[in-house]
Amino acid sequence: MKVQPFPTTLSATTYTADDIDDEDATIVLARSGAVPRMHIIAGRYHILQTIGAGGMGRVVEANDLETGRKVAIKFMQPSSVASPDARRRFAREARAAARLKSDHVARVLDVGTAEDGAPFIVMELLVGEDLATRLERRGPLPWRVAVECMMQACEGIAEAHARGIVHRDIKPRNLFLSKEPDGAAHVKIVDFGIAKDILRRDHGQTLTRGAIALGSPHYMAPEQMASSRDVDQRTDVWAIGVCLYELCSGQRPFRASNVQKLFGKVLTRAPKRLRAVVPDAPAGLESIVARCLEKEPSARYADAAAVRDALERLVRRSQSPWRVLSPHMALGMALSAVLGAAAAGLGTWIASLP
C-alpha cells in the first residue's frame, strides 16, 4: 500500500458526496506497478485528484479508461476499512443508490475493490454545487425556486421510498444542483451512506450504531433522535420540511447552541411559522411545511410522493406566472419555471447554467 498526496484544492463546482471536513485530503491507493507515476485501480480508473472528504469516505475524480468519460469514485476512509460495520454501511450505500434510476439521484455506475482491498463506488461526476453552498453564497431562494428544487428532490426520494429505502440524511448539503450535459440544471440526491432498507431483514447483520441516533441533528425527526431503527418514509418527510423552510428563509426551523438543547426544542416546541420569516410565501406552502414538521409521524405526509403532489397542487393554484429570475443566482444560474396549461398540469423547467 502506498500513500499518495493529490491536489488539495477542493472545488465547489465538482461533485461532493460528503460535508468537506479535511482541506488537506489525501487518499490511500494501491500502487500500480504497470503504469509508473499513474494511479489506476481495477485496471480501469485513472485517478486525477481528490475533490472531497468526509467522515465516512473520500471522493476522487478519475478517468474511466474504458469509456473515456470522467467519473467520481468514493472510497472508504482508510481508518474504516478494517471495520465490518463500516464496510457493511458502505456496501449498503452502493446497494441503495444502484437500485435507483431517477434522474434526480446521482447514478452509481460501478462498484469494486481496489488492489489494497478497499471497496469503492463509481458514480457520475456532477458539476455544480449543493444547495447548502448555494445558501451560504447567495442567501435564501425565492420561494418558487425553493419549491421547484424540492419538487425535483422529492422525485428522487419518492423512488427510494417506493423501494422501501429511507435516506435518513436529507439536507441541503446532500441535494446537489447539477449542470447536465445538455445545459439544464437538475437537483440530484447524493450520499446514501446511512440509508435504511425497511423492506430488508438482515437478522444478525444489524449495524451496531443502529440503536442510536444517526443523521444530521438539524434535520432529524423526533423519532430519529430516539433511535435510527425506528424510522420510515415519514422521517424523510420531516427533513424535506426542514429543507423547504431553510431554502425559503435562510434559517432552520429549530436552532440551539448545542445538540441537547436542539433536541429539546424539536421534541417540545413548534417552529416559527414560515410566513413569519418569509412574508411573501403563500399560505399553502406554510401549511405544507407545517404538516411535514408535525411531531407525530402519523400526522405528516405518508412519503415524498405525497409531498411532491402537494407542492404541485400549490403551483397549479398559484395566481402569479412563474417569472424568469435573476441570472446572478447560484453559479450565475437563472432558474425559471412556467405553469403549463396542458392536461398534464405542471410544466416546469430550470434554465441552463452558463
Average pLDDT score over residue span 276-302: 97
Domains 2-124 and 128-347 share a fold: no
Q: For 231, phi and psi rounded to 5 degrees? A: -130, 160
Per-residue confidence (pLDDT) for residue 265, from 0 to 100: 92
| 57 beta partners | 76
pLDDT at 347: 30
Range of weakest confidence among 34-48, 84-98, 291-305: 34-48
Which range, of 77-81, 102-106, 153-157, 255-259, averages the lowest pLDDT?
Answer: 77-81
Helical segments of the chain, H only? 84-98, 131-138, 143-162, 222-226, 233-249, 259-268, 274-277, 283-292, 304-317
CA gap 55, 20 in Å, rounded: 9
Q: What is the assigned CATH class of domain 2-124?
A: alpha beta
The verdict on domain 128-347 having CATH code 1.10.274.10 is no
Residue 110 has pLDDT above 70, yes or no: yes
Res 320: pLDDT = 52
Q: Each residue of 196-246: pLDDT tens digit?
A: 887 665 433 333 343 445 678 999 999 998 877 779 999 999 999 999 999
pLDDT at 55: 64
Give me the active site residues, please.
169
What is the mean predicted confidence (pLDDT) over 179-205? 74
**pLDDT score, position 5:** 32
When comparing pLDDT for 98 and 277, which is higher?
A: 277
Mapped onto helix, strand or coil, the DSSP state of residue 261 is helix
pLDDT at position 275 over 90: yes
DSSP state of 142: P
Distance separating alpha carbons of residues 85 and 9, to the nearest angstrom: 31
* Annotated domain spans of the chain: 2-124, 128-347
pLDDT of residue 350: 38
Which grid coordinates are listed for 129? 454545487
User: By percentage, how much of the chain surpasses pLDDT 90?
Assistant: 50
Of 78-82, 139-143, 271-275, 292-296, which gets the smallest average pLDDT?
78-82
